[in-house]
Chains A and B, each alone.
Chain A
Amino acid sequence: MTSVPVYEPPPQESPGRRLSTFFYRHPRVRLWTLLALPVAWLVLVYFGSLFVLLLSSLWETDPFTREVVHTFTLENFQRIFEQDVYRNVASRTVQMAVLVTIADVVLAFPIAYYMARVASPRTRDILVVLILVPLWANYLVKAYAWRTILSEGGVINWALDPFGLHFDGLSTVGLWLVFTYLWLPFMILPIYAGLERIPTSFLEASADLGGRSFTTFARVILPLAFPAIVAGSIFTFCLTLGDYIAPGLITSEQFIGTVIYNIRGEALPTAAAFSLVPIAVVVVYLLVARRLGAFESL
Chain B
Amino acid sequence: MVESRLMRILLRGGAVLTLAFIYLPLFVIALYAFNRNVTQAWPIENYSTRWFSVAFHDPDVRDALRNSLIAAVGATAIALVLGTLASLAVSRYRFFGREVITFAVILPIALPGIVTGLALQATIIDVLGPLGIGFGLTTIIVGHATFCIVVIYNNAIARMRRTSGSLDEASADLGADNWQTFRYVMLPQMRTALLAGGLLAFALSFDEVIVTVFTSGAEQTLPIWIFATLARPDDQPIVNVVALFVILVSIIPVYIATRLAGSSGLTAERPKRSAVAANVPAP
Chain A residues packing against B (C-beta within 8 Å): 11, 14, 16-17, 19-20, 23-24, 27, 30-31, 34-35, 37-39, 41-42, 45-50, 52-53, 56, 107-108, 110-111, 113-115, 117-119, 125, 127-142, 144-146, 148-149, 151, 153-155, 158, 181-182, 184-186, 188-190, 192-193, 196-197, 200, 203-204, 207, 213, 216, 231, 235, 238-239, 241-245, 249, 257, 260-261, 264, 268, 271-272, 275, 278-279, 282, 286, 297-298
Contacts and interface: CB of A to CB of B under 8 A. Distances in A.
A228 B207 CA distance: 28
The 6 tightest CB contacts between A and B, nearest first, are A242-B112, A110-B14, A139-B283, A145-B25, A49-B119, A53-B119
A56 B26 contact: no
Contacts of B255: 129, 133
Contacts of A139: 207, 209-210, 283
Contacts of A31: 89, 93, 95
Contact of A35 (B101, B113, B177): B101
Contact of B82 (A37, A128, A145): A37
Given A52-B123, A245-B210, A264-B118, A38 B172 contact: no
B111 interface: yes
Contacts of A245: 209-210, 227
B262 interface: yes
Contact of B250 (A16, A138, A264): A138
Nearest to A193: B273
A127 B118 contact: no
Given A19-B177, A189-B276, A137 B247 contact: yes
Given A42-B146, A235-B280, A298 B274 contact: yes
A128 B26 CA distance: 18
Nearest to A183: B283
A153 B40 contact: yes
A278 B118 CA distance: 13
Contact of B112 (A11, A129, A241): A241
Contacts of B7: 213
12 contacts: A16-B179, A34-B89, A38-B85, A38-B105, A110-B15, A114-B11, A132-B280, A186-B280, A268-B125, A275-B115, A279-B112, A298-B277
B115 A279 contact: yes
A130 B204 CA distance: 18
Classify chain B: how many residues form its interface, as a range. Answer: 35 or more
Nearest to B275: A193
Contacts of B251: 133-134, 136-137
B118 A275 contact: yes
A119 B23 CA distance: 20
Given A125-B262, A128-B276, A216-B2, A145 B282 contact: no
B25 A118 contact: no
Contacts of B118: 53, 260, 264, 271-272, 275
A46 B146 contact: yes
Nearest to A31: B93
A137 B209 CA distance: 12
A115 B114 contact: no
Given A138-B250, A149-B24, A35 B114 contact: no
Contacts of B116: 46, 49
A193 B43 contact: no
Contacts of B4: 213
